[in-house]
Amino acid sequence: MAGQRCYIKRCSEDVLQQIAGYLSFQDKARLSLTCKGFKNYHMAGPLEIHLAKQGIAQQRSLRTLIHMLEGMSAEQRFKIRELCMHSHSTGIANVPDSQQHRICRALVSNLTILRLFEVHLRLETLEAPGVELRLEVLDLSGSVLVATTHPRRLLWPLLTSNSPSLRCLILRNVVVYVPKIDIRFCQEPTLEHVVLPRLEELDIVHLAVVGYRLSGNAFLEDHRAGIDWPPHCFLPPQSFIGAPSLTTLRFSLICGPSRTVTASTWEHFAKLRSADLMHKSWQECANYLELLPLSLTEFTVRIWPSQHHRCSRDIYSMAEDFKLIMKAAKAGMRLQKLTLIGFTCYDVDRFAFLDAEGICLAGIRELVLEPCLSEEDPIADTHPVNRLLYIFPHLEKLYIRGQHVASFTLSVPSPLLEELSLNFCPASINVKFANLRSLKLEHRFQMGSARRSAKLHKMEIGAWDCGQLDSLTIVLGSYKKGDVFQVQCKPGTAVTTTCSYPAEEWGEWVIGVRLGAGILGQSGQRPVRFVCASSHGMLTWGLA
């Protein structure tokens, strides 16, 4: 339809809606400029812009976009409430300053949601004359923000101008680039005096500030390649903004050993319900948990990856730090969900004494574990995952994800378990299944197709009553074209249900089996055994 005029004079709104669903933004914009029927409809909703790769193609698309935006009436532009702009290339999209300002001047003053992904943006563009921000959601994930006019204040004007309306602020993997000064000698940026009264969600994970010695784009590309950001580049924890309505917080606290936090840091977070924090060590985690408000119901701990390689002399101190975390959680928190990411066997090597000292987190109902284990870690009943589970006696939901955790017997002491999800296939399971309603297991072979056919793996659950189970999900790994997957459900009777799924291409297979009440057997029937096997090119899962 590009370049053609539209002569529709009258059309119902439902027909326009169907037509608009097949049109690109450019076509809808052209129709809006030439067809009265589209003037009041097509711009109601989000505007998503895919920036092309660097060069002539990007400049041409930007010029076309700006021409259409500036050609629209104020009434048309006012209906664009959400703008999403992201790079369609492998790198950061560099938009010239003049074009940035023209786009923002045409749109931003009417927006409530602004999302810029992987865009090289000058902060002054969002604060220039003629641009008034009244945003509710600001998401600048993966972008490079250049600060030249006010390098020492950085994000202050951007946040203060939106303070009455901002509800969600996301700055994940963002680099603030200050090209004119050496950040090592720059006054530490602070946001302590910025108050956002309506802010409910704050996500500042991997927010770095770099100076003229580094390129903002290169800095972010290094991070994507797995190169750790130096701790001194992060905003310190004292930079927390005032947010009395905050309920969800995600923050990286990789700020160097000299940083300290006092209880006053958290005074404005009285309504906080969920916190997701990244730390350098369990000791920092313990310190922060003691200071978090009592309203907290969900807490996620992420240990900085570079801390996974530790020496044995630190084992005892780490266990002591973790004990402080458990004591703090038991003493005052109303925690119901706890997520532990990045712990190793060294972290839980001495956790056996936690139960002996009466430390028991009976209030936690949902637990998510992502251990960072190695192939040499102990197995069977001494496995660190099992030792950790003994201090959570009333779990209802358990999710375990991670590598090198498949060769042990999983033991869950909680009799209330309703949902179990594992991304591995343990040797066996020792779980009370009386209340289990959902079971999800993944089986992934780390080998080529030639060896896969000879692989045989069995997981015996033993005697358990699965009358309550109504959802069984089996996730198969990636296999080559032509493989056949077979699922067998043998409910303890003469009836056997078998389904085969041929693979048409490489990919991940997810097989969900919805089970009616009692289909797998009732109390008093013979035990049920779950078997997973692969032989002669056939992968078989079954309940026998």
What is the 3-class SS of 218-263, one letter each residue?
Answer: HHHHHHHCCCCCCHHHECCHHHCCECCCCCEEEEECCCCCCCCCCH
How far apart, in Å, do the first and last CA atoms of the chain sit? 60
Summarize pLDDT for 182-216 with one digit per residue, the tens. Answer: 655 555 445 556 678 888 998 887 777 776 555 55
What pLDDT shows up at residue 53? 57
Asked whether the beta carbons of 416 and 396 are under 8 A apart, the reply is yes
* Residue 444 exposure: Cα atoms within 13 Å on the Cβ side: 18
In the block, which residue shows the tokens 């896969």?
Answer: 452
Q: Decide if 57 is inside a domain.
A: no
Same domain for 406 and 294: yes
Most confident of 132-141, 315-324, 326-335: 132-141
Q: Decide if 284 is inside a domain.
A: yes
**3-state DSSP assignment of residue 4:** coil
Asked if pLDDT for residue 461 goes beyond 70, the answer is: no
Asked if pLDDT for residue 95 goes beyond 80, the answer is: no
What pLDDT shows up at residue 370? 84
The total number of structural domains in the chain stands at: 3
Residue among 331, 320, 321, 316 at smallest CA distance from 301: 321
Q: How far apart are CA 366 and CA 39, in angstroms?
A: 50
What pLDDT shows up at residue 366? 92
312 by Cβ neighbours in 10 Å (0-12 / 13-18 / 19+) ranks as exposed
Q: Give the mean pLDDT of the chain.
A: 63
Of 399, 432, 465, the residue at which a domain comes to its end is: 432
**3-state DSSP assignment of residue 78:** helix
**532 DSSP β-pair partners:** 541
Q: Which of 101-115, 234-248, 356-370, 478-492 has the least mean pLDDT?
A: 478-492
What pLDDT shows up at residue 124? 74
What pLDDT shows up at residue 396? 92
What pLDDT shows up at residue 493? 35
Q: How far is CA 175 from the centre of its chain?
A: 19
Same domain for 281 and 407: yes
Q: Mean pLDDT throughout 462-471?
A: 50
Asked if pLDDT for residue 75 goes beyond 60, the answer is: yes
What pLDDT shows up at residue 430? 72
Most confident of 144-153, 208-217, 470-479: 144-153
What pLDDT shows up at residue 99? 77
Same domain for 396 and 339: yes
Q: Mean pLDDT throughout 102-120?
A: 78
Q: Decide if 422 is inside a domain.
A: yes
Q: How far apart are CA 164 and CA 199, in angstroms?
A: 9
Asked if pLDDT for residue 498 goes beyond 50, the answer is: no
Q: How far apart are CA 541 and CA 544, in angstroms?
A: 10
Most confident of 328-342, 343-357, 374-388, 475-489: 328-342
Same domain for 409 and 340: yes
The predicted model scores a pTM of: 0.68
Q: How far is CA 127 from CA 78, 154, 162, 203, in A?
A: 19, 12, 11, 22
Q: Mean pLDDT throughout 514-540?
A: 37
Same domain for 475 and 424: no
Asked if pLDDT for residue 65 goes beyond 70, the answer is: yes
Q: Provide the b/e sequence for 493-510 (b: ≥16 CB within 10 Å).
A: eeeeeeeeeebeeeeeee
Asked if pLDDT for residue 246 goes beyond 80, the answer is: yes
Q: How far is CA 372 from the centre of its chain?
A: 18
What pLDDT shows up at residue 89? 53
Same domain for 416 and 385: yes
Share of the chain above pLDDT 90, in %: 1
Q: Which of 146-150, 172-176, 447-451, 478-482 has the least mean pLDDT?
A: 447-451
Residue among 165, 174, 180, 228 at smallest CA distance from 205: 174
In the block, which residue shows the tokens 């505007």?
Answer: 47
> How many other C-beta atoms lie within 10 A of the C-beta of residue 339?
16
- pLDDT bin (cut points 50, 70, 90) of residue 256 is very low
Same domain for 543 and 479: yes
Q: How far apart are CA 305 and CA 124, in angstroms?
A: 35
Same domain for 425 and 291: yes
Summarize pLDDT for 389-412 with one digit per residue, the tens. Answer: 877 888 999 998 876 555 677 788
Which one is predicted more confidently, 22 or 136?
136
Which one is predicted more confidently, 523 or 25?
25
Same domain for 367 and 300: yes
Same domain for 304 and 399: yes
What pLDDT shows up at residue 503? 40
Q: How far apart are CA 141 and CA 108, in angstroms?
A: 18
Q: How far is CA 130 from CA 104, 158, 313, in A?
A: 9, 14, 61
Q: How far apart are CA 442 and CA 102, in angstroms?
A: 50
Q: Decide if 478 is inside a domain.
A: yes
Asked if pLDDT for residue 438 goes beyond 50, the answer is: yes
Range of the domain at 475: 448-544
What pLDDT shows up at residue 455? 39
Q: How far apart are CA 209 and CA 154, in angstroms?
A: 9
Q: Mean pLDDT throughout 435-459?
A: 53
Same domain for 511 and 413: no
Q: Decide if 267 is inside a domain.
A: no
Q: Decide if 255 is inside a domain.
A: no
- pLDDT bin (cut points 50, 70, 90) of residue 11 is low
Of 407, 432, 457, the residue at which a domain comes to its end is: 432
What pLDDT shows up at residue 384? 72
What pLDDT shows up at residue 398? 92
Q: How far apart are CA 392 and CA 403, in angstroms?
A: 22
Asked if pLDDT for residue 507 goes beyond 90, the answer is: no
- pLDDT bin (cut points 50, 70, 90) of residue 33 is low
373 is written with which tokens? 């284990």
DSSP assignment of 416-458 equals T--EEEESS--SEEEE--TT--EEEEEE---S-HHHHTT----
**3-state DSSP assignment of residue 497:** strand
Q: How far apart are CA 63 and CA 302, in angstroms?
A: 44
Which one is predicted more confidently, 128 or 445?
128
Angle at 218 between CA 215 and CA 219, to 5 degrees: 80
Q: How far apart are CA 265 and CA 526, in angstroms?
A: 58
Q: Which of 184-188, 218-222, 383-387 has the least mean pLDDT?
A: 184-188
Q: Decide if 91 is inside a domain.
A: no
Residue 311: partners with Cβ closer than 8 Å, 6 or more residues away:
none
Residue 517: partners with Cβ closer than 8 Å, 6 or more residues away:
467, 468, 470
**428 DSSP β-pair partners:** 409, 460
- pLDDT bin (cut points 50, 70, 90) of residue 243 is confident
Which one is predicted more confidently, 410 or 488?
410
Q: Decide if 14 is inside a domain.
A: yes
What pLDDT shows up at residue 389? 83
Q: Mean pLDDT throughout 452-465?
A: 40
Same domain for 340 and 468: no
Q: Mean pLDDT throughout 518-528?
A: 36
What pLDDT shows up at residue 481? 47
- pLDDT bin (cut points 50, 70, 90) of residue 515 is very low
Please state the φ and ψ torsions of residue 194, each to the nearest 5 degrees.
Answer: -90, 120
